[in-house]
Amino acid sequence: MCAAWPPAIGNSGSPASWAASTRSSSAPRRPRRRPSPHRFVKEVLRMWSPPLILVRRARASFDLGTTRLEKAQNYLVSPHMIHRDHRYWQQPDTFDPDRFLPGVPHGPTDRSCYVPFGWAPKKCIGNDIGTTQLMGLCYLICTRYRLSVPNSDTLPMACRFAPVPQRFNGRLALAWN
């Protein structure tokens, strides 16, 4: 995605501006908006978050539309389907990290519809560290390496246990400048 979406590395599209936006200053301050790398990682997780389907057990009996679930009955939920649902996301099949800027009209209509790490009470406890590690990986790829992916716009994804790119022939090389 770093190769396919250059603004992921900063507002000007350069690794240097991305690195500058992630450095901490000597005096802590609250950012006015989410850094671009964080929005980028959130959008990647929205579009291609594993697992595709989760099995849950009803903790109480309840009606869901015309369906009744009884206590202890198993049911399936899909973060992938919620992240692609037009009721919650405008243009859900479009990669747009700016949808996570505060107050944008094309952002999520409900915060509870962004669930790449599942739902409480069984939400992944590693969600924050996982997101931080992905931002660090993006930083390394964008500042210390050069990533090239020919035909990244037409790279098909297969849905298995998790979304997997097909026929991926990218190249990752150390940056020497």
Q: Residue 124, annotated ligand binder?
A: yes
55 forms beta bridges with 76
User: DSSP per residue over 84-104, as a string?
Assistant: T-TTT-SSTTS--GGGGSTT-
CA distances (Å), origin 63, targets 45, 68, 85, 122? 30, 4, 21, 21
- How far is it, in rounded angstroms, from Cα 160 to Cα 118? 17
Which residues are annotated as part of the binding site? 124
Which residues are annotated as part of the binding site for heme? 124
